[in-house]
C-alpha cells in the first residue's frame, strides 16, 4: 500500500535514528493540544486518569543505552521508556511517554538521571529513583536524534532534525550553546571523555568536529556519502567511529580528524557503532540484520553474527564488559556476549507498527495487521502473548473477521489475500489475482463474499467457500484504499487515493453511484448504523458525512491535520475518528461536533473498530499498540458533555 509504505518510511526513519531528509510525502504536522478548535465548537478532553481498559503490544524500539554501571539497560520505544536488567528475565520498569515516541536516550554519568528525546522535539530529564520527570528542556522543533552527557554530567548535548546541535546546562535546564554548522538534519553526536571535543554527523554525510566549550567549529569533512547514523569516541578519547547509510563505518584519529580505517563489509545501511570495553574492539550493526566485530588496531573484521531476522535499529555496548545489546525490527532485543560468542538474554515481545485491527463478532479476540508481515491475534479474556499468523511476505494492511467469526481475512503488500481459520489459527486459503499491493478487505453481510481493494485500481469479489474470484470491479482510476459494507443493504463503498468514492450494488455487482468532493486520498470509510449515511476520512484534512439519498456531504468542522480512520458506534451514539499524534476524536453525529478526545496512543491511529455489541472500541496505531476502550466509560463522559 503506497500510503502505508510512506507512513512506514516515517517509522523506519525514526527507528534508525537517522535521516529524515525529505523522504516522506505525508509528513505529519505537529498540532497543538486541543487542536485549536474554532470558537464555538464544544470539545472536552478526557481527564488524564481515564485510560484505555487494556493495551495490547509493547511498541517498537528506537534506541538503547546502558547505565554507567551496566546494571540497567534503557530502551527507547514508540510508547515510552523501559528500564531493564539486561541479564535477568524480570519485568521492565516503564516510564510513560511525555508525548510521542522516545527517539533517543542517555544516562547521566554520576546521578540517577536519564535524558530522553522525542519525535516532537522535547527532551525530558527523568529522576530514576522517583521514576518521574524532573525537568523538560524545550527549544528543538523536530525529532531528537541523539543525546550525550559529558563525563562530569554538567552538560547534555542534543542533535535534532531541526538542523541544530545544542548544549544544555544540566542544573538549570537552559540551552547554553547552539552549534552553527551544515544546513542539514543533525543525526548523531558524541562528546569526548574529557569533554573538550564534540563531533556531529548530518543527513548529508558531513562530519563536524567542534570545540565543545567554545562552540566553535574546528573541522568539517564530507566523510560519508550517506546519512551519518551513529558516532562514538573510544574510551581513551583518541579515536572516533562513525556509521553511515553509505554501507560503511570509519575509524578516525580524534586529534587530526583523519581516517584510520574504512570498515567495509556490510550489505546495507550501517545503523549503529559502539566501542567495546577497553576500546580494542568495535561493534557495528546493519539493516541486513548483521552485527560485525572489528579490531580497532587493524581495522579488520573479526566476526560476523546475523543476530536479527530484520533491520537492526539500535546498538549499544556495556561500559565494563564485552557485551552488546541490539534491537531489531523482528521485535527482539538481544543481549550478546562478544567474548563467549553467545546470547545472554532476549526479549521477543515487542510489536511492530499496526496498520489495521478487527474485533471478533463474539468479542473474544482481536486481530491486528502489522508492518512486520504478521497478524497479531490477542485473546481478550487472558493476559498472554499474541498468536502470530505468519505467511505474508510484506506488510499486512487490512484484517477482517467473517460475520460468523470462523475466518480472518488479511490483505498484504505481497499482492495476496489470505483466509485464516480463526479457531485453529492456521491458513485456510490463499487468494491470488491482484497485481499490486492489496490495501483493504471486508466481508459481505452474509459472509458469502470477501471484497478486496488494491493499488491495481480494482476491487475484487471472492467466493469465500470456493476461494475463487467471481467478479472484478474496475470503476476506480486510482489506488483503492478503503472499503465499507452497509449494515442494511447490499451496498459496498470504496474510496481511492484520488479522493473518489464509489458505491457498488453487491446483488448486481455493478456501480450504483459516486460521491465526489474530497481533494485528498480517502483513507477510511464507514456507514452509519441505519445505512443512510456514509462517513469518509481523508488526507484533505476533512471528515465528511454523506447523505446517500442526495449524494451530498456535510463536512465536520475541525482543523484536522489528517483523518486516518473512522468508525461508527453500532448504536449511533457517536463517531470515532483517528487523527494525528495518537488522538481519537469522539464526534456527536447529531451536532456534528467533536465533544472530546481519547488519548492512549503516541502516534497516528490507523484503524478503529467497534465490537458488534457496542461495548468495546479498539484502536491500532503506528506506535505498535492496540488499545481497548470501555465504551460504557466513554459513553458516560460523552453524555455528560453532550
The domains located in the chain, with CATH, are 9-15+60-265 (2.130.10.10)
Indicate the SS3 state at residue 232: strand
- Counting residues of the chain whose pLDDT is more than 90, the rounded percentage is 81
pLDDT score for 560: 75
- Whether 449 contacts 459, CB under 8 Å: no
pLDDT digits 0-9 by tens, 444-479: 999 999 999 999 999 999 999 999 999 999 999 999
Q: Which residue has the higher pLDDT, 249 or 223?
A: 249
HEC string of 241-277?
EEEECCCEEEEEECCCCCEEEEEECCCCCEEEEEECC
If you average pLDDT over residues 220-231, what whole number do you get?
A: 95
Sign of the Cα pseudo-torsion (14, 16, 21, 24, in order): negative
What are the grid coordinates assigned to 368, written together? 491486528
If you average pLDDT over residues 287-311, what whole number do you get?
A: 94
Kindly provide the residue ranges of all beta strands, DSSP E only, lying in 22-171, ordered along the sequence. Answer: 54-56, 61-66, 73-77, 80-84, 93-96, 102-107, 113-118, 123-127, 132-137, 144-149, 155-160, 165-169
What are the grid coordinates assigned to 94, written together? 516503564
Burial class (CB in 10 A: 0-12, 13-18, 19+), 151: middle
pLDDT score for 635: 77
CA distance 347 to 370: 19
Indicate the SS3 state at residue 638: helix
Element (H, E) at 610: strand 605-610
pLDDT score for 22: 27
C-beta atoms surrounding 361 within 10 Å: 16
Give counts: helices (H), strands (E), the chain. 2, 56
- Is a pLDDT exceeding 50 seen at residue 5? no
pLDDT score for 638: 62
**Backbone angle region of 101, left / alpha / beta, with phi > 0 → left and psi within -120 to 50 → alpha:** beta
pLDDT band at 422 (very low <50, low <70, confident <90, very high): very high
If you average pLDDT over residues 21-49, what whole number do you get?
A: 32
Q: In sequence order, what are the beta bridge partners of 565?
A: 578
| 488 CB-near residues (< 8 Å, 6+ apart) | 530, 531
- Whether 413 contacts 456, CB under 8 Å: no
C-beta atoms surrounding 112 within 10 Å: 14
Note the Cα 401 to chain centre separation in Å. Answer: 24
- Is a pLDDT exceeding 90 seen at residue 192? yes
What are the grid coordinates assigned to 501, written together? 468514492
What are the grid coordinates assigned to 465, written together? 467457500
| Least confident range of 70-74, 172-176, 240-244 | 172-176
| 513 CB-near residues (< 8 Å, 6+ apart) | 502, 503, 551
If you average pLDDT over residues 139-164, what whole number do you get?
A: 95
CA distance 213 to 318: 28
What are the grid coordinates assigned to 79, written together? 510508547
pLDDT score for 581: 81
Instruction: Give Dmax (Cα) for the chain.
Output: 77
pLDDT band at 641 (very low <50, low <70, confident <90, very high): low
If you average pLDDT over residues 317-330, what whole number do you get?
A: 96
Closest to 434 in 3D by CA, of 409, 461, 464, 404: 461
pTM here is: 0.88
- Is a pLDDT exceeding 80 seen at residue 132? yes
CA distance 266 to 284: 9
pLDDT score for 40: 34
pLDDT score for 420: 99
Instruction: Using alpha carbons, list the distances in angstroms from residue 170 to 116, 136, 159, 294.
Output: 13, 11, 16, 35
CA distance 418 to 365: 18
| 65 CB-near residues (< 8 Å, 6+ apart) | 73, 74, 105, 106, 107, 316
CA distance 642 to 639: 5
Indicate the SS3 state at residue 543: strand
- Is a pLDDT exceeding 90 seen at residue 601? yes
Indicate the SS3 state at residue 342: strand
Average pLDDT, the chain: 90
CA angle 504, 451, 405 (to 5 degrees): 125
pLDDT score for 588: 86
pLDDT digits 0-9 by tens, 257-292: 999 999 999 999 999 999 999 999 999 999 999 999
pLDDT score for 632: 85
- Is a pLDDT exceeding 50 seen at residue 45? no
pLDDT band at 18 (very low <50, low <70, confident <90, very high): very low
pLDDT score for 319: 97
pLDDT band at 3 (very low <50, low <70, confident <90, very high): very low
- Is a pLDDT exceeding 70 seen at residue 149? yes
What are the grid coordinates assigned to 484, written together? 465499507
pLDDT band at 642 (very low <50, low <70, confident <90, very high): low
Element (H, E) at 4: helix 2-16
- Counting residues of the chain whose pLDDT is more than 70, the rounded percentage is 91
DSSP class of residue 581 equals G
What are the grid coordinates assigned to 367, written together? 486481530
In 3-state terms the chain splits into helix, strand, coil percentages (rounded to 5) of 5, 50, 45
| 180 CB-near residues (< 8 Å, 6+ apart) | 215, 217
pLDDT digits 0-9 by tens, 386-409: 999 999 999 999 999 999 999 999
pLDDT digits 0-9 by tens, 427-438: 999 999 999 999
pLDDT band at 383 (very low <50, low <70, confident <90, very high): confident
CA angle 116, 117, 121 (to 5 degrees): 150
pLDDT band at 36 (very low <50, low <70, confident <90, very high): very low
pLDDT band at 26 (very low <50, low <70, confident <90, very high): very low
CA distance 406 to 180: 61
Amino acid at each position: 500500500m503506497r500510503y502505508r509504505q510512506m507512513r512506514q518510511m516515517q517509522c523506519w526513519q525514526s527507528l534508525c535514528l537517522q535521516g529524515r531528509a525529505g523522504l516522506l510525502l505525508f509528513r505529519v504536522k505537529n498540532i497543538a493540544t486541543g487542536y485549536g478548535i474554532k470558537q464555538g465548537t464544544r470539545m472536552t478532553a478526557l481527564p488524564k486518569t481515564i485510560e484505555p481498559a487494556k493495551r495490547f503490544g509493547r511498541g517498537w524500539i528506537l534506541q538503547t543505552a546502558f547505565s554507567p554501571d551496566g546494571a540497567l539497560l534503557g530502551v527507547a520505544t514508540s510508547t515510552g521508556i523501559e528500564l531493564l536488567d539486561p541479564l535477568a528475565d524480570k519485568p521492565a520498569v516503564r516510564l510513560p511517554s511525555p508525548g510521542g515516541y522516545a527517539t533517543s536516550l542517555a544516562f547521566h554519568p554520576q546521578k540517577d538521571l536519564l535524558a530522553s528525546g522525542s519525535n516532537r522535539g522535547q527532551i525530558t530529564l527523568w529522576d530514576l529513583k522517583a521514576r518521574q520527570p524532573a525537568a523538560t528542556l524545550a527549544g528543538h522543533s523536530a525529532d531528537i536524534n541523539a543525546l550525550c552527557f559529558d563525563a562530569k554530567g554538567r552538560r547534555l548535548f542534543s542533535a535534532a532534525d531541526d538542523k541544530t546541535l545544542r548544549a544544555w546546562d544540566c542544573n538549570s535546564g537552559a540551552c547554553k550553546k547552539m552549534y552553527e554548522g551544515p544546513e542539514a538534519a543533525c543525526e548523531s553526536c558524541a562528546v569526548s571523555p574529557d569533554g573538550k571535543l564534540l563531533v556531529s554527523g548530518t543527513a548529508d554525510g558531513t562530519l563536524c568536529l567542534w570545540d565543545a566549550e567554545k562552540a566553535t567549529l574546528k573541522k568539517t569533512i564530507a566523510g560519508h556519502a550517506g546519512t551519518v547514523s551513529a558516532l562514538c569516541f573510544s574510551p581513551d578519547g583518541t579515536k572516533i567511529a562513525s556509521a553511515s547509510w553509505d554501507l560503511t563505518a570509519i575509524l578516525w584519529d580524534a586529534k587530526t580528524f583523519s581516517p584510520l580505517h574504512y570498515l567495509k563489509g556490510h550489505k546495507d545501511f550501517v545503523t549503529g557503532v559502539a566501542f567495546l570495553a577497553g576500546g580494542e574492539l568495535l561493534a557495528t550493526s546493519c539493516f541486513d540484520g548483521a552485527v560485525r566485530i572489528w579490531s580497532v588496531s587493524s581495522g579488520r573484521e573479526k566476526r560476523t553474527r546475523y543476530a536479527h531476522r530484520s533491520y537492526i535499529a539500535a546498538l549499544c555496548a556495556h561500559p565494563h564488559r564485552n557485551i552488546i545489546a541490539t534491537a531489531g525490527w523482528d521485535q527482539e532485543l538481544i543481549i550478546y556476549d562478544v567474548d563467549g560468542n553467545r546470547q545472554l538474554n532476549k526479549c521477543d515481545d515487542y510489536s511492530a507498527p499496526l496498520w489495521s485491527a478487527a474485533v471478533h463478532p463474539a468479542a473474544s479476540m482481536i486481530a491486528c495487521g502489522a508492518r512486520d508481515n504478521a497478524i497479531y491475534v490477542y485473546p481478550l479474556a487472558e493476559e498472554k502473548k499474541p498468536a502470530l499468523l505468519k505467511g505474508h511476505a510484506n506488510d499486512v494492511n487490512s484484517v477482517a473477521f467473517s460475520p460468523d467469526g470462523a475466518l480472518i481475512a488479511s490483505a498484504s503488500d505481497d499482492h495476496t489475500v489470505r483466509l485464516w481459520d480463526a479457531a485453529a489459527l492456521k491458513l485456510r486459503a490463499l487468494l491470488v489475482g491482484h497485481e499490486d499491493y492489496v490495501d483493504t478487505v471486508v466481508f459481505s453481510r452474509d459472509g458469502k463474499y470477501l471484497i478486496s481493494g488494491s493499488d491495481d485500481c480494482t476491487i475484487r469479489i471472492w467466493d469465500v467457500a470456493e476461494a475463487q474470484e467471481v467478479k472484478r470491479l474496475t470503476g476506480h482510476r486510482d489506488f483503492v484504499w478503503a472499503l465499507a459494507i452497509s449494515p442494511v443493504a447490499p451496498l459496498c463503498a470504496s474510496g481511492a487515493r484520488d479522493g473518489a468514492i464509489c458505491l457498488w450494488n453487491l446483488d448486481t455487482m455493478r456501480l450504483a453511484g459516486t460521491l465526489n468532493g474530497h481533494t485528498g486520498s480517502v483513507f477510511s470509510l464507514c456507514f452509519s448504523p441505519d445505512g443512510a449515511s456514509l462517513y469518509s476520512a481523508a488526507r484533505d484534512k476533512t471528515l465528511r458525512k454523506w447523505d446517500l439519498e442526495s449524494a451530498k456531504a456535510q463536512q465536520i468542522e475541525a482543523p484536522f491535520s489528517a483523518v486516518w480512520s473512522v468508525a461508527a458506534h453500532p448504536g449511533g451514539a457517536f463517531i470515532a475518528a483517528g487523527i494525528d499524534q495518537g488522538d481519537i476524536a469522539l464526534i456527536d453525529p447529531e451536532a456534528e461536533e467533536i465533544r472530546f478526545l481519547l488519548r492512549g496512543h503516541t502516534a497516528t491511529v490507523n484503524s478503529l473498530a467497534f465490537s458488534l455489541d457496542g461495548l468495546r472500541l479498539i484502536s491500532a496505531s503506528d506506535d505498535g499498540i492496540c488499545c481497548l476502550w470501555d465504551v460504557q466509560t466513554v459513553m458516560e463522559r460523552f453524555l455528560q458533555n453532550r
